[in-house]
Amino acid sequence: MEFCPKCGAIMFPKDDGFQCKCGHQKKITNELANQYAVSEKIDTKDTVIFTGEDIRTLPTTRSICPKCGNKEAFWWLQQTRRADESETRFLRCTSCKHTRREYD
C-alpha cells in the first residue's frame, strides 16, 4: 500500500503512477514496481479483486423485508453499545438494499 506524503490517505494506481484523493501523484519507479509487482496487462490467470456493494460476501438469512416483502437478507453483527451489552444485528435486504437493525 502506498500512502500520500501530503495528507496520509491511501494512494490508488492510476495510469503510470499512484494518485491520492487530494490530487498528489507519484510516478511508479522500478523500485515501486518491484515492491508492488505492478503489471501493465492483466493475464487470464491473474486474480482480480472487485470491491463494492454488489459483492455478495455476507451471510444470508430468511427475513421478510418490511419495505419490499423480499424474503432474504444479508446479516452482520456490530458492537454499537457498551462492551458488556450484546451486539446489534443488522439486516440488509438482498433485493432493495433496505437496512434495518435488530436488538437482543
Catalytic residue status for 16: no
Active-site entry in 16, 85, 87, 102: 85
Q: Which three cell numbers stand for residue 61?
A: 438469512
C-alpha to C-alpha distance for 20 and 6, rounded to whole angstroms = 9
Active-site entry in 40, 43, 53, 84: 84
What are the angstrom distances between the C-alpha of 19 and each of 13, 78, 85? 6, 32, 42
Catalytic residue status for 84: yes
Which of the residues are catalytic? Answer: 84-85
